[in-house]
Structure 1
Amino acid sequence: MDEKPRLLDQVREQIRLKHYSIRTERVYCEWVKRFIRFHHYQHPEVMGAAEVEAFLSDLAVRKNVSASTQNQALAALLFLYKQVLKLDLPWLGEVVRAKKPSRLPVVLSIGEVQQTLAHLEGDVWLAANLLYGSGMRLMEVIRLRVKDIDFIRLEMVVRDGKGMKDRVTVLPRCLIEPLKQHLAVVKARHVAELNAGRGDVYLPFALERKYAKGPWEWAWQYVFPASGLSVDPRSGKTRRHHMDEKRLQRAFKVAIKRAGIVKLATPHTLRHSFATHLLESGQDIRTVQELLGHADVKTTQIYTHVLNRGGLAVLSPLDRA
């Protein structure tokens, strides 16, 4: 029993060395604990492909988890063996990843987007508008910093997006004034906190050492700060973090219901809608790929299947009658 906390500490250390998010740290540690518990607390060093396969099979058969969840568990275990235990994995090729079902994204029409946004207000309204207007992912909007908005060039910089890549996306003209008004309120609260001896914010990686005064500077503040202070689980410091994404998710769910829309839409649906509507308007697919931050254009091409084009542009024989 003494070895389990030490092993998890090693997992956390390697995750932080590779600058993975706190979410990844929590998820990977939970999967490692579940794996060890499933095999009656055997140490992972004495286990291999057979035990990993048995664990993954149990998730799929008895727990009935999705393919993405099963693959997440596998990723955590491979991280444990390769990065933490530093073990050679001759059996790695034997572990079969679950095949994800090929599904088309849920997309809202322009009218449905407008109806949904009309049922939101305040900072969640602004955040949802940025999701649709820029094509950013949910956490990319939530983690947006003041310095990454350029009102002159009408663009926003997404820092450390998926795959730890930066990219530039569009800032909608119609959001300039609402965003400036929102930032004025945020800045006033930030100034008040500075006067009270607080006002610092989390900086990623080694930036806090590089920019000693950075955590207190306006440029590094979150565009969508949390309503209250919280304790940073890694540093133990009490700070104002960014908005909880669940707040936007809950508000969006209510807005969809009030708008009378029966599609299974989430805030991420606004990103799908952004891409689809751009392609519908004739925008070049390569440009859409860059805005979305897709490494491969094949990922962006899924939105062409949602359009009423190509083979799907046929006229139904019933409409000819």
Structure 2
Amino acid sequence: MATSSSSTKEAVLVTGANGFIGSWVVKTLLENGYTDIHCSIHPSTDPSHLFSFLDPFPEAKLSIFRADLLDAAAISKAVEGCAGVFHVASPCTLEDPKDPELDLIQPAVQGTLNMLRAAKEFNVRRVVVTSSISSLIPNPKWDENKVIDETSWTDTDFCKSVQKWYSLSKTLAEIDAWKFAKENGLDMVTIHPSTVLGTMLQPGLNASSAVLLQLLQGSNNPQEHQWLGVIDVRDLAKAQLLLFESPAASGRYLATNGIYQFSEFALKVSQLFPDYPVYRFTELTNRGIVSCKDAAKKLIGLGLVFTPLEETILESAQSLKAKGLLSQ
């Protein structure tokens, strides 16, 4: 599978197009010659910032589709006419959900299936699903001496026991997605980003950027059961395009610029921002995590080059300041 080799690239859909990751996927697609992009967004949200990306690309167009993930008919309209789908949309809240089943699990699982059914109906060539490290960890059965890789699957029973509802939603959604793809001969790959940081193109604060914000404000949350490392949002968007366009791409892809303890990340942040009350962890923050600089071997093998962590942290913090979320 590959996109058209001609200069005119076919239409593609980005779900959750106005979110943190989705916005960068749209921008990256435009920068790489895609001129017909369908953007599905939750009906209650504003996509207006996306149109500023069009200024350097007068020949390009963005078509907005207001589609709840649970509205199969609306999702079908967004998919129709597209050669590829970048399925980014999935609920992720800053606060604990009041009703995990209704708020997270149903939209993640059923929403993904609605999108895949539409992709099958309209003969989409490849679907790139944004999953998460949350469908790789927590996995208490994993060998503690082995580096986490794409063969790891989150333990759903453990998630329920520790109330990691987001991890449960992403894992269940991916399990059902692979089942559907294999039963229906659908070309699908999944990408599993760690904590995504970088410049926020969207108006509001997203959950992964909040991890850095809270750390800079003195939080001592060790990110237990939900941390492997960081990926720059620009790298994640490039990786999505790489997976769509690379004929050899298949299966699951871990997307992280290394694996290391959250305590190491906090130390790096405190060194970069000595005037902020960054908590200094003295104990192990993430049990069962083996450090590895090139953990995303599959993506690296396809040619992805990661942005240095320090650059990602600095740009993310600057973005938080620019939006008035972090004091100068």
Q: TM-score, normalised by structure 1?
A: 0.23
* Bigger CA radius of gyration: 1
| Greater percentage in helix | 1
Q: TM-score, normalised by structure 2?
A: 0.23
| Greater percentage in strand | 2
